[in-house]
Chain A
């Protein structure tokens, strides 16, 4: 037999017991050729193009899923940042574009469509401003559309005006979707150093240097890593790193195989495999549990950041060895609402917003799916975004904020979205004012790249 008995059982155990799945196959579609001065023509071109390329996306993914016995949790599409496609339009017209994206996504049966985005780290065009102003309305009238705005980068610095604008947009989105626990904010990401080939929503978009159409894949397998660490027992860190790397190597290989096969079916180029460890609300599919299996009593204990740094680094090293097309975020995700262990740590009072912020400096992606009281002022949210952007800008990495100021809720309450978005306890935010700082406006200059101490 060309395979060992144990090897075959290991694969079966990963997929059947340890929740190893492909989190997403995301088809990136360029919409740059869909611009027109007439909004009706633009929306029609967008609709037709998404249907033309994406029609068989779900069917092909299902076929490959069955063939290899590994489930693909989400089928998604990302598009060119809409602010670029519709630069000439006003806010109402942008909402029409969001609606047509939603309709196209529904028609082809995908889970999410992402790319209702703008890149404004250096400054706004008129279209960028109009698009950003349209976000609350767009997210409250659509179901599958995800939005992101890049407001900072290591090369450009931090656009504080954009942060202030986005803080208000987040508050408005929370209000407009107040009857559904402010779910609009769960589909809105503010980025520093956004990547162009990220297959994970809500932050995915089809970057301007990407080809006409491409297929990216995002893998997920915290449960597999958790079991590997548990069965390794009490070993030193070098041995632990080895265990994690071996596991990640295998799941990355499987991810790349499936991604390539789906791309082959479509006859489109394969882009990247994003080797992120993305948790789900399922029991055992948790980054928090991995950190605890490494030895910290709970997430938030001293040592948590070091444990996460080790995990994140092993993910990258093993992924790079396993695949020649690594891209996207490629690290460990720590979304609060989507990870049972993180939720538990917040509820017990062990994990604060500040510790979470420290953790984001050593992993992807940032403050993700964090619910805060509905009465948190916009300036405080701006301050949180500025802090997170500073971590990304200085460390030359992607950071993001997906924060939910849940309308009408206070500490002790929950927001509950079900599915992959999960449920989040409202976290306490410090009552200290950031107003005089963030309202200075302008741009925090780009940082120095030498003397890095």
Chain B
């Protein structure tokens, strides 16, 4: 787990406020440790590796209900949409989403099957791939 600078500042200010004049090195250490342990959410804001992210790419002829269809399926499976980017050129669209699947209720294969269904209903293409393949190919 890594902490952003902002988080460290926030923790420090809270410690000053809570402990005030009573602060000793041991107490500060104990307080900070407790705060970090009680809140796992600190890791949520910062990228801590890539094992839980997939990239969804979709393209085809633009029609209504594409984003809602995809996002509904994602929320039904408890997937967290981290980023979305879209381009529409004339009647064609391309949509890319980065999705956190740490809390996903399905496995990836099931989600891919669901997306394949949506794709065939809307007559578009949807690809769902683990992020690592993009990281390996485009980042040294």
> A-side interface residues toward B, CB under 8 Å?
1-5, 7-12, 16, 63, 66-70, 250-251, 253-254, 256-258
Q: What are the residues of chain B within 8 A of A4 when measuring CB–CB?
A: 138
Contacts A8-B57, A9-B94 known; A1 to B85 CB distance under 8 Å?
yes
Q: What are the residues of chain A within 8 A of B87 when measuring CB–CB?
A: 5
Instruction: Decide if B109 is an interface residue (CB 8 Å cutoff).
Output: yes
Contact A5 B129 (CB under 8 A): no
Which of B87, B96, B136 has the most A CB atoms < 10 Å from its CB? Answer: B136
> B-side interface residues toward A, CB under 8 Å?
47, 55, 57, 83, 85, 87, 94, 96, 98, 108-109, 112, 125, 127-130, 132-134, 136-138
Min Cβ gap B113→A in Å is 10
- Known interface pairs A8-B96, A11-B134, A67-B130; 7 further A-B residue pairs with C-beta atoms within 8 A, sorted by A's residue number: A1-B96, A2-B83, A67-B108, A67-B129, A69-B127, A70-B129, A254-B136
Min Cβ gap A81→B in Å is 34
Cross-interface CB contact of A1 among B83, B130, B132, B138, cutoff 8 Å: B83
Compute how far the CA of A313 lies from the CA of B108 in the bound complex, rounded to whole angstroms: 39
Min Cβ gap B61→A in Å is 17
Q: What are the residues of chain B within 8 A of A258 when measuring CB–CB?
A: 133
Contacts A1-B96, A3-B138, A5-B94 known; A66 to B57 CB distance under 8 Å?
no
**Closest partner residue, chain B, to A69 (CB atom):** B129
Contacts A67-B108, A69-B127 known; A5 to B137 CB distance under 8 Å?
no
Q: What are the residues of chain A within 8 A of B136 when measuring CB–CB?
A: 253-254, 256-257
Compute how far the CA of A9 lies from the CA of B128 in the bound complex, rounded to whole angstroms: 13
Cross-interface CB contact of B134 among A7, A63, A256, cutoff 8 Å: A7
User: A-B pairs with the 6 shortest C-beta distances?
Assistant: A69-B129, A253-B136, A250-B137, A257-B136, A68-B133, A7-B138
Cβ contacts A to B, 19 pairs, < 8 Å: A1-B96, A2-B83, A3-B55, A3-B138, A4-B138, A5-B94, A11-B133, A11-B137, A66-B109, A67-B108, A67-B130, A68-B129, A69-B128, A250-B137, A254-B136, A257-B132, A257-B133, A257-B136, A258-B133
Compute how far the CA of A70 lies from the CA of B127 in the bound complex, rounded to whole angstroms: 11
Which of B109, B129, B137 has the most A CB atoms < 10 Å from its CB? Answer: B137
Q: What are the residues of chain A within 8 A of B133 when measuring CB–CB?
A: 11, 68-70, 254, 257-258
Contact A254 B96 (CB under 8 A): no
Contacts A66-B109, A68-B132, A69-B128 known; A254 to B137 CB distance under 8 Å?
yes
Compute how far the CA of A8 lies from the CA of B85 in the bound complex, rounded to whole angstroms: 11
Q: What are the residues of chain B within 8 A of A67 when measuring CB–CB?
A: 108, 129-130
Min Cβ gap B128→A in Å is 7
Which of A11, A63, A256, A258 has the most B CB atoms < 10 Å from its CB? Answer: A11
Contact A5 B96 (CB under 8 A): yes
**Closest partner residue, chain A, to B50 (CB atom):** A2
Q: What are the residues of chain A within 8 A of B98 when measuring CB–CB?
A: 1-2
Which of A5, A9, A67, A256 has the most B CB atoms < 10 Å from its CB? Answer: A67
**Closest partner residue, chain A, to B84 (CB atom):** A1
Compute how far the CA of A3 lies from the CA of B82 in the bound complex, rounded to whole angstroms: 13
Compute how far the CA of A258 lies from the CA of B132 in the bound complex, rounded to whole angstroms: 10
Compute how far the CA of A105 lies from the CA of B108 in the bound complex, rounded to whole angstroms: 29
Compute how far the CA of A7 lies from the CA of B134 in the bound complex, rounded to whole angstroms: 8
**Closest partner residue, chain B, to A4 (CB atom):** B138
Q: What are the residues of chain B within 8 A of A5 when measuring CB–CB?
A: 85, 87, 94, 96
Min Cβ gap B37→A in Å is 29
Cross-interface CB contact of B127 among A2, A12, A250, A256, cutoff 8 Å: A12
Q: What are the residues of chain A within 8 A of B108 when measuring CB–CB?
A: 66-67
Contact B130 A68 (CB under 8 A): yes
Q: What are the residues of chain B within 8 A of A9 when measuring CB–CB?
A: 57, 94
